[in-house]
Amino acid sequence: MDFVNELKKICGSNLLLKKEDLYVYAHDTSQNPDNIILPLAVVFPRNTKEVSDIIKVLNKYNVPCVPRAQGTNHCGGTRLTKKSVVIHFSKMDKIIEIDKNNLIAKVQPNVVIGDLNKELDKLNLFFPPDPSNLAVSTIGGAIALCAGGPRTFKYGNTKDYIINLEVVLADGTIIETSKDLAKNVTGYNITSLFVGSEGTLGIVTQATLKLIPKPEERLLTLSYFDSLENAAKCVNNIINSGFIPSTLDLLDNNTIKTIERFNPCGLLTDKEAVLLIELDGFKSCVKYEQDILKEILIKSDAVNIVQAKNQEENEEIWRARRSAYSAVTQLKPNVVTEDIVVPKSKIVECIKKINEISSKYGIIVCIMGHAGDGNIHPNFALDLSNENEKINFEKLKDELFYYAISIGGTLSAEHGIGMHKKKYLKDALNYGAFDLMLKIKKLLDVKNLINPDKMF
Ligand SMILES: Cc1cc2nc3c(=O)[nH]c(=O)nc-3n(C[C@H](O)[C@H](O)[C@H](O)COP(=O)(O)OP(=O)(O)OC[C@H]3O[C@@H](n4cnc5c(N)ncnc54)[C@H](O)[C@@H]3O)c2cc1C
């Protein structure tokens, strides 16, 4: 293979070719045991020039590539759809600069978000996007998926914190999308074009991030309800009272029970729903707001309220929330996490519909969501080696996604489309955007070599 010899010249020993090494890079968190395609090679570039040189070689030989970070996406974004070279960024994991005066950080793509925040913590700074698995997932992955997480209600998602990107385009050209300035409307906003593009338009090799001062205090409240309706009503009451909590997450009874079964944390399993409400800001404000919040919760028919008094108690509650996914993985061999978003007013109706469709197809579902954003994550526990269950799950997904679209919602709020939701994309973008997006893809990746068959 001539292209391999050329890649060897660029990457030296930072290249994998043995079948047993390649196998690892054929999988990601998304669950679909079928049609596993091994990479032709995995390359580990050390800098932007090497990424550009790799892309030029692949272009010359018409070999597709799949950019990959930690592979924790839920949409099959790093799965191979044809024989391709995987470009892995583990050797581009440096925090280049943290500039406190200008409130920016410059990072390479494989910086882990949790590690970045540990460094920022020392300077009382904060990068809010939190894809819930922040001990693992990277800036590059978060940019490609426009990841959100539990803090988006107050702080927004990844796109709100990207000031400038260095990108290697499909022909190997290196560009910057903007300058390292807090405001810049000089030309089109092409930074935003690349955020959420799922690695299909170019390869991100460096990012300038917007930082904010770290809130002095963060305190969580757990509020239990006897019905989903009361929990949803409470979400509205909180917002209408002028609060913008940093987190406003909801867990249903199945999720509470599953967490308690596998990762016991003392959650109350006889309640229909629990809201996790985090307030942050100056210490004195948070204490004051916690008291008012408690009054709102009582008026909203909360049946049990637990308020963290310090960081240890806060962490304990977060541990419960973050363990939800791993708890569900213990129910069955596979877990598929979906990510629909609906108007906030339709949350209860939507959760009921998810339960109805799931029981119709005999599939276990544990539902949680970022209630403040109308973003619902049903976690489906499945055995995909069971042909019947697999067929039923496909029918379930069809019903779920078309239902979400029919009530004014859509396919994904923060996990992306990848290969698993692309069959619904045209219907979801039925307001004229689909054709334009396809044109942009064809313009920027003429040979369809950059993460091909994702999204479209
Ligand atoms: C337990 C769990 C909880 C989660 N909770 C949330 C949540 O609450 N909110 C949320 O938003 N997400 C959540 N996620 C999903 C999360 O968005 C992804 O896991 C994460 O952002 C992906 O990061 P990664 O480093 O693993 O990237 P990968 O999975 O390796 O890649 C993700 C995508 O980015 C592309 N890519 C990677 N690097 C580059 C690059 N340098 N240039 C161009 N493209 C690139 C890949 O091709 C792929 O399409 C959760 C995931 C898990 C496992």
Domain end, chosen from 213, 242, 257, is at: 213
Tell me the C-alpha distance between 294 and 358, whole Å: 34
Task: Return the bridge partners of 382, or none.
Answer: 334
Residues 194 and 101 in one domain: yes
Domain of residue 308, CATH code: 3.30.70.3450
Q: Which domain holds residue 10?
A: 2-90
85-88 vs 41-43, strand pairing mode: parallel
Q: How do residues 97-134 score in pLDDT, each as one tens digit?
A: 999 999 999 999 999 999 999 999 999 999 999 888 87
Domain end, chosen from 90, 116, 144, is at: 90
What is the CB < 6 Å shell around ligand 1? Answer: 28-29, 66-74, 77-78, 89, 109, 131-133, 137-138, 140-142, 144-145, 147-149, 198-199, 203-204, 325, 414-415, 451
Residue 36 lies in a domain: yes
Residue 72 lies in a domain: yes
Residues 313 and 397 in one domain: no
First to last CA, the chain: 29
How far is ligand 1, taken at its centre, from the CA of residue 110, in Å? 11
Domain end, chosen from 90, 110, 140, is at: 90
Residues 107 and 207 in one domain: yes
Residues 342 and 295 in one domain: no
Residues 140 and 59 in one domain: no
Residues 246 and 315 in one domain: yes
Residues 264 and 226 in one domain: yes
**Residues near 400 by Cβ (< 8 Å), separated by ≥ 6?**
338, 340, 353, 354, 357, 378
What pTM, to 2 d.p., does this model score?
Answer: 0.96
Residue 23 lies in a domain: yes
Residues 208 and 99 in one domain: yes
Tell me the C-alpha distance between 367 and 224, whole Å: 15
How far is ligand 1, taken at its centre, from the CA of residue 420, in Å? 14
Residue 124 lies in a domain: yes
Give, for ligand 1, the residue of 27, 90, 111, 132 to mutate: max count of ligand atoms closer than 8 Å to Cβ. Answer: 132
Q: Dig out the tokens for 201 from the structure.
A: 């338009």
Mean pLDDT of the chain: 95
Domain of residue 15, CATH code: 3.30.43.10
Q: How do residues 269-283 score in pLDDT, each as one tens digit?
A: 999 999 999 999 999
How far is ligand 1, taken at its centre, from the CA of residue 414, in Å? 9
How far is ligand 1, taken at its centre, from the CA of residue 230, in Å? 33
Rg (CA), the chain: 22
Residue 448 lies in a domain: no
Domain of residue 125, CATH code: 3.30.465.10
Residue 449 lies in a domain: no
pLDDT band at 135 (very low <50, low <70, confident <90, very high): confident
DSSP string across 306-373: EE--SHHHHHHHHHHHHTHHHHHTTTSSEEEE-BEE--GGGHHHHHHHHHHHHHHTT-EEEEEEEGGG
pLDDT band at 31 (very low <50, low <70, confident <90, very high): confident
Residues 337 and 434 in one domain: yes
Q: How do residues 292-351 score in pLDDT, each as one tens digit?
A: 999 999 999 999 999 998 889 998 888 888 889 999 999 999 999 999 999 999 999 999
pLDDT band at 24 (very low <50, low <70, confident <90, very high): very high
Residues 100 and 209 in one domain: yes
Q: Dig out the tokens for 309 from the structure.
A: 């008094």
What pLDDT, on a 0 to 100 scale, did the predictor assign at position 152? Answer: 95
Domain of residue 361, CATH code: 3.30.70.2740
How many structural domains compose the chain? 4
Residue 454 lies in a domain: no
| CA-nearest residue, atom 17 of ligand 1 | 147
Residue 450 lies in a domain: no
Residues 16 and 37 in one domain: yes
